[in-house]
């Protein structure tokens, strides 16, 4: 399954649409928060499912702040990351992944893309397509998941 991953769109639907076009054919879009409303608007624009969580600026939003999905036998934990202090380190996310037996953790919040594998757990932050930080560029991720393999690629917009 080919999965597009976005985070921290912050109302920049034009950049989100550019990222979706650059992704090509995807089977699912994951949005790791900030802004949840963007994920819902994108879902109306495209003909695929969008799974999203709310972020730290999604005030008065009834959406979940985290969710767990299973794809091709891989357990994926999707969160924005602000509740796990991801701007400082991944320790709390790592222990959460162990607690729930997650294979893949997708998060945002830092606005900086990264992929790290720690003790068999993939940690993916697609960065931000609207407001990149730390000298990074607008970015998104693509994840190909099959039972035997997970392939993760980060792209600049």
pLDDT digits (tens, 9 = 90+) for 96-148: 999 999 999 999 999 999 999 999 999 999 999 999 898 889 999 999 999 88
The CATH class, in words, for 2-156 is alpha beta
Predicted local confidence at residue 24, as pLDDT: 96
Under 8 Å CB-to-CB from 130, ≥6 apart: which residues?
Answer: 8, 9, 10, 11, 12, 15, 16, 138
Map out the domains of the chain as residue ranges.
Answer: 2-156
- For residues 78 and 54, give the distance between their C-alpha atoms in angstroms, rounded to a whole number: 10
The three-point CA angle 67-68-69 to 5° equals: 120
Per-residue pLDDT tens over the stretch 39-88: 999 999 998 999 999 999 999 999 999 999 999 999 999 999 999 999 99
| Other C-beta atoms lying within 10 Å of the C-beta of residue 45 | 11
In degrees and rounded to multiples of 5, residue 7 shows phi and psi of -155, 160
């Amino acid at each position: 399954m080919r999965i597009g991953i976005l985070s921290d769109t912050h109302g920049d639907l034009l950049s989100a649409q550019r990222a979706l076009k650059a992704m090509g054919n995807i089977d699912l879009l994951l949005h790791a928060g900030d802004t949840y409303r963007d994920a819902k608007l994108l879902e109306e624009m495209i003909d695929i499912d969008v799974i999203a969580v709310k972020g730290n600026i999604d005030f008065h939003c009834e959406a979940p702040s985290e969710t767990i999905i299973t794809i091709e036998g891989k357990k994926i934990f999707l969160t924005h990351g602000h509740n796990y202090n991801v701007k400082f380190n991944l320790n709390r996310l790592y222990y959460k992944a162990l607690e729930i037996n997650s294979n893949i953790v997708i998060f945002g919040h830092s606005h900086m893309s990264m992929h790290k594998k720690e003790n068999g757990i993939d940690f993916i932050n697609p960065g931000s397509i609207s407001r990149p930080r730390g000298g990074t560029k607008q970015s998104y991720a693509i994840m190909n998941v099959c039972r035997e393999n997970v392939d993760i690629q980060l792209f600049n917009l």
